[in-house]
Chain A
Amino acid sequence: MANGAVNPHTMPMAPLYIKLGVFTLLMALWQGLAMLLEVPDLPSVTQTLQALYYHTHEGDLINNVLITLGRVLISFTLAMLIGSIFGIAMGSKAWFNNISDSLLIILLNIPALVVIILSYIWIGLVEAAAILAVVINKVPTVAVMLREGARTTDTKLADVAKVYQLSWYRFMRAVYLPQLYPFFLAAARNGLSLIWKIVLVVELLGRSDGVGFALYSMFQFFDIAGILAYTMVFIAVVFVIELVCFKPFDLRIQRGR
């Protein structure tokens, strides 16, 4: 890391006490509202925490979350990989963009539910169909973001690489891809939130395990506290992924910019 090199563009992180303060305020608001209304449709924070304890120890919460996480991870990896390759190719080759542009618009606008239902009908109620449905839904948005990134790469920096005869690997690693990192990050953040949601719908419609299936079961029994308990875990997992994966990458790509 640079000695004394300061990046004026790096956004300062909010102090931890501010984040904790906002979180506590939201919890207090929820608890207060639940106590005020006293209706079964809005369980309090304490009732939700009790449900969380129950589903963790007596139910299948951990197993369901892990199964869903696995599906999210596989779908996310495939969607990022395929979408990035397509997006970069479209952004850097005009002829490929001309061929693929209409297909991209079609894929962007087909409702997610249609893709999910058709995948289950054509492939069957199997894991592959579930993953494929999620990937097809996500690839176009990744491709669009990376296409824009590839279009904005600086050809002057590519000239430097050409003059100094950099190898293809070195050019990609040190010149080209760093220009796309902010677009990768935006696509990944956006992708993760979208994939989470689509995976749940996919599980709800055609799987017998996972968070989506569990939520559907709880809906059958109007187990609102259970639904909120799963949602809590869901949000906690997303926060962990943000802190462990995205934030360090974000800080890394901010260096020097």
Chain B
Amino acid sequence: MSAVNLKIDKLSYSEYSGHQTIIDHIDLAINNTEFICIVGPSGCGKTTLLNTIAGLLNSPDAAVTFSQADIRLGYIFQEPRLMPWLTLQQNIELVLPQSNPQLVKQVLKQVGLSAYSQHYPNALSGGMLRRASIARAFVIQPQLLLLDEPFVSLDSPTAMKCRALLLDMAKQHQTTMVFVTHDVNEALYMADRIVFLSNSPSTIIHELVLNQSTQQHSGNYESPHQQALKSALFSQYPKILEGTLATG
């Protein structure tokens, strides 16, 4: 399996027959196995950008191109979006082109849900449902994984566990990741690169490259390393952070 490069070239997107521009000429190149975080205020068009990459929304020809013709794409939505009438195991099997119980079992074990494989989603907690959606995304061994604020409604310790799990699985599967959040802390914690979007109509207002390979994820936003990153960012880009944090 190989991860993919993704190129976004002058992508614009409008709603209401072109009367409301959501995304305005975004250019972005995402490299193989890169973990990129897209940060911006609520309502700026982050989800629209992801949906356009995923092909759920129509974009102009050649605005979104991949380095390969057919790619395995995973998407972890804001809500877990599991089928309520299927068991956890069936939900994960659903996205596989062919039945592979061993693989499903293995992925469920990785996310710590082996004991719940026969449970229906309504019998699982919020954190379990997030882990289930991570399992569903990784079972297809995605080359590109899109994530839309997947941990936004979780309590802090559960969200932290889910982040650690996600980083672990991304590293293991060598997947290119596009992670949308309005939380700068979360982006600093996870990303190789952060792209800051403006308010709607959104454009890229800044990019920040982080070298996560030298970072050590402590599993804590308040770690000295995380604090140092945050201070550096605040001092360098106060206006960007005001814009994103104020509405985040």
Contact = CB atoms under 8 A, between A and B. Distances in A.
Contacts of B56: 159, 162-163
28 contacts: A2-B120, A4-B119, A5-B87, A5-B120, A5-B123, A7-B123, A157-B81, A157-B83, A159-B56, A159-B77, A160-B75, A160-B81, A162-B56, A163-B73, A163-B75, A164-B73, A164-B74, A164-B75, A164-B94, A164-B140, A166-B94, A174-B86, A174-B94, A178-B83, A255-B120, A256-B84, A256-B86, A257-B85
B81 A162 contact: no
A82 interface: no
Nearest to B93: A174
B177 to A, nearest CB: 15
A204 interface: no
B119 A175 contact: no
Contacts of B77: 156, 159-160
A1 B85 contact: no
A6 interface: yes
B118 interface: yes
Interface of A: 1-9, 156-157, 159-160, 162-164, 166, 170, 174-175, 178, 181, 253, 255-257
Prevailing SS type, chain B contact patch: loop
A73 B162 CA distance: 53
B120 A156 contact: no
B65 interface: no
Given A163-B73, A164-B95, A256 B122 contact: yes
B54 interface: yes
Contacts of A164: 73-75, 94-95, 136, 140
Contacts of A157: 81, 83
Contacts of B86: 174, 256
Given A170-B94, A256-B120, 18 more contacts: A3-B119, A4-B123, A5-B118, A5-B119, A5-B120, A7-B120, A7-B122, A156-B77, A157-B81, A159-B51, A159-B81, A162-B56, A163-B75, A174-B94, A175-B83, A178-B85, A256-B86, A256-B122
